[in-house]
Amino acid sequence: MTESAERIDTTRLQAVARAYTQSAVFYAALDVELFTHIHNGSTTEEELITATTLRQIDVERLVTCLLSMEMITWSDDGSLVNAPDVDKFLVKGTRRYAGEWMMFTRPDVPKWFRMTELMLSQHGTRLGMYDELTVESAKKYHQATSSIGFGAARRFVRTVDLSERRHLLDLGGGSGAYSITAVETFENLRATVLDLPPVVVATQEYIADAGVGDRVDTVGADFTQGEFPGPVDAVVMASNLPIYDGQVIAGVVARAFRALESGGEMHLIGEMLDDDRSGPLDSAMWGMNELICGSLGRSHTRAEVVGYFADAGFVDIDISEFVPDTLARCVGTKP
């Protein structure tokens, strides 16, 4: 027997079987604003009992789990501190608070546990959850996602130089995060956010709040059909890749190519898989999320995305990490 065979046991399998417990503890901590209380000075369990109004035993259980999950740690003086990412993004009332996004998929939890039934029923439509979008639900959606979107958009303008570009088309632009941030960064740039008709009502509010209404406009349309407004010299499509299958994405990339002027560039930013589909896990799970959301979408590999660009006619295609283990960025130029 080899050394590795001797060591095979059920530890990993048991951890996976109960992985949902971590999500549940995390949600409960956010419900009682535990990280916010710690940030604001309730750094002992006694103080957390007062701040959360929970029983001593439940504070002890929560703190124990969160210590093991490395969400909080003990400081040298025996008080509790948030982990750096927790403190940056999960303190309510701060600018970068992302709690709403963390909670965004919580209502889907019962469906994840009905996955087999959903698969056997073969449900799913092309647009999935976007079929039923209303102005109200679109506003709620972007209230939750915009903090993440603007963070990614700031990364985009640090990574991509659009100073020589005049018009950016932002496909599925949602809150307008990429367009707003790009025109704020590049003074000669205008942008058009194309998103579904109920969504652009919300987009217009973000544009107005940022005071860039003279340089960013919106088009209410379904990007899976019809030609795109053009000519433009830059296109970005961010964070909607797994919503659709290969045929739809290839069609979007081909129509973006047609909307571009010669020399123009397209950036597709999304959760992409390694070519052997063995990870990253988050990219794989976003594909499965589409079963839960009722679409026919799936995760795409980097090679597939490069293929969509090449088939459309793009050249100088390059793919790189955008947010490690989360998002990759594919760029191509129209000859």
Ligand X SMILES: C[S@@+](CC[C@H](N)C(=O)[O-])C[C@H]1O[C@@H](n2cnc3c(N)ncnc32)[C@H](O)[C@@H]1O
Residues found near ligand X in the complex (CB under 6 A): 127, 130, 145, 149, 152, 172-175, 177-178, 195-196, 199, 222-224, 238-240, 243
- The span from the CA of 265 to the CA of 257, in Å, is 9
Count how many residues are written for the chain.
335
Task: Name the residue nearer to ligand X (CB basis): 170 or 233.
Answer: 170
User: Per DSSP, which regions of 186-302 are E strands?
Assistant: 190-195, 216-220, 232-238, 260-270, 272-273, 300-301
**Residue 216: HSE in the Cβ half-sphere, 13 Å Cα cutoff:** 29
User: Would you say 243 or 284 has its CB closer to ligand X?
Assistant: 243
Nearer to ligand X, 44 or 326 (CB): 326
Of all residues in the shown chain, the one whose CB is closest to ligand X is: 149
User: Nearer Cβ to ligand X, position 63 or 327?
Assistant: 327
Identity of the residue, 42 or 294, whose beta carbon is nearer to ligand X in the bound complex: 294
Pairing of strands 80-82, 72-74: antiparallel
Six token digits for residue 209: 């709040």
Work out the angle between the directed axes of helices 177-185 and 135-159 (0-180°, nearest 10). Answer: 40
Place of tokens 């309730």: 42
Structure tokens at 124: 């799913």
| β-bridge mates for residue 171, sequence order | 194, 237
Q: How far is the CB of 48 from ligand X (least distance, A)?
A: 34
What's the closest the beta carbon of residue 4 comes to ligand X, in angstroms?
A: 41
Compare residues 195 and 233 and give the one whose CB is closer to ligand X: 195
CB of 153 to ligand X, least distance (A): 7
Q: At closest approach, how far in Å is the CB of 119 from ligand X?
A: 22
Of the two residues 127 and 305, which places its CB atom closer to ligand X in the complex?
127
Query: How near is the Cβ of 42 to ligand X at its closest, in Å?
Result: 34
Smallest gap from Cβ 297 to ligand X, in A, equals 9
Calpha distance 272→325 (Å, rounded) = 9
DSSP 243: G
Phi/psi-derived region of residue 255, left when phi > 0, alpha when psi is between -120 and 50, beta in every other case:
alpha
CA distance 68 to 284: 25
Residue nearer to ligand X on the CB measure, 42 or 145 = 145
Nearest distance in Å: CB 2, ligand X: 46
Distances (CA, A) of 37 to 42, 48, 80, 246: 5, 7, 10, 45
Pairing label, strands 272-273, 300-301: parallel
Q: Closest approach of Cβ 139 to ligand X, in Å?
A: 11
Smaller CB distance to ligand X: residue 188 or 225? 225
Kindly report the backbone phi and psi dihedral angles of residue 48, in degrees, each rounded to the nearest multiple of 5, phi listed first.
-70, -30
CA distances 20 to 109, 118, 128, 227, Å, are 9, 19, 24, 43
User: Taking the complex as a whole, how short is the minimal distance between the CB of residue 313 and ligand X, in angstroms?
Assistant: 22
